[in-house]
């Protein structure tokens, strides 16, 4: 199922909204962490190299659009992302295809305006190892931004925290990411 209002703009415009390396340094300051990572809705691979640098294991990047999957495979070859595993398909319908407690990091960026976010976050909880982290990023809903879904369907940080608690996460923090992603908020949820 394609997530509403999640089409990608031109690559250059999209890249202008983020500083992926600084963002991941903020969200994973102790990188590289041991284990694998799961990136949901990888898109152009904007964050994929920084995620790749944040873990010692494989990065499982899921994307629904076949053209973007091709672009991710090209990124793997041209950027020497040897531990990148590209999965093309609908992870909302098919599931992640990963064993329980197999991922140290799960990345859910710009997706939480989807129907039934608790189900997605519960699946993230299932695949995370004890001590693993869920990184959530979304367009701010308190101000207009140059892209993103309609303001009325964007979740607020408090809603995302509530959903994460319902999915099983107990500890959730909201770091300041204004220097790297001024149009977004981020949350880090820990599995204990």
Of 24, 35, 26, 30, give the one whose Cα is nearest residue 105: 35
**In a domain? residue 5:** no
What pLDDT does residue 34 have? 98
Whichever domain contains 68, its CATH number is: 3.40.50.150
Of 97, 85, 80, 101, give the one whose Cα is nearest residue 35: 101
Of 13, 4, 22, 90, give the one whose Cα is nearest residue 44: 13
Count of domains observed in the chain? 1
**In a domain? residue 1:** no
List of the chain residues with pLDDT < 50? none
Judging by DSSP bridges, how do beta strands 171-173 and 184-190 pair with one another? Answer: antiparallel
Q: Which residues pair with 133 in a beta bridge?
A: 105, 190
Judging by DSSP bridges, how do beta strands 128-139 and 37-40 pair with one another? Answer: unpaired
**In a domain? residue 9:** no
- Cβ neighbour number for residue 177 with a 10 Å cutoff: 19
Domain range for 84 is 15-190
What pLDDT does residue 16 have? 75
CA 161, chain centre distance (Å): 15
What pLDDT does residue 13 have? 72
Beta strand residue intervals within 5-124, DSSP E: 37-40, 59-63, 84-88, 103-109
**In a domain? residue 8:** no
User: In this structure, what are the phi and psi dihedrals at residue 29, rounded to the nearest 5 degrees?
Assistant: -65, -20
**In a domain? residue 3:** no
Radius of gyration over every alpha carbon of the chain, rounded to an integer in angstroms: 15
**187, HSE (Cβ side, Cα atoms, 13 Å):** 26
Residue 77 parent element (H or E): helix 66-78
According to DSSP, residue 33 is labeled B
**In a domain? residue 7:** no
Q: Which residues pair with 126 in a beta bridge?
A: none
Residue range 39-80, pLDDT digits in tens = 999 999 999 999 999 999 999 999 999 999 999 999 999 998
What's the token pair of residue 168? 């099983």
**In a domain? residue 145:** yes
**Residue 166 and residue 23: Cα distance in Å, rounded?**
26
According to DSSP, residue 100 is labeled T
């Amino acid at each position: 199922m394609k997530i509403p209002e999640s089409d990608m703009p031109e690559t250059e415009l999209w890249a202008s909204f983020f500083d992926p390396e600084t963002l991941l340094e903020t969200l994973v300051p102790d990188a590289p962490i041991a284990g694998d990572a799961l990136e949901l809705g990888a898109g152009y691979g904007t964050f994929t190299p920084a995620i790749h640098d944040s873990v010692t294991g494989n990065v499982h990047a899921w994307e629904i659009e076949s053209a973007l999957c091709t672009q991710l495979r090209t990124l793997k070859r041209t950027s020497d992302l040897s531990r990148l595993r590209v999965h093309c398909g609908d992870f909302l319908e098919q599931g992640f295809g990963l064993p329980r407690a197999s991922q140290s990091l799960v990345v859910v960026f710009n997706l939480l305006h989807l129907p039934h976010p608790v189900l997605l976050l519960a699946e993230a909880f299932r695949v995370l190892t004890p001590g693993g982290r869920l990184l959530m990023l979304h367009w701010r809903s308190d101000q207009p931004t140059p892209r993103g879904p309609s303001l009325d369907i964007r979740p607020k940080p408090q809603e995302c925290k509530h959903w994460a608690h319902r999915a099983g996460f107990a500890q959730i923090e909201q770091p300041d990411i204004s220097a790297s992603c001024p149009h977004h908020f981020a949350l880090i949820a820990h599995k204990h």
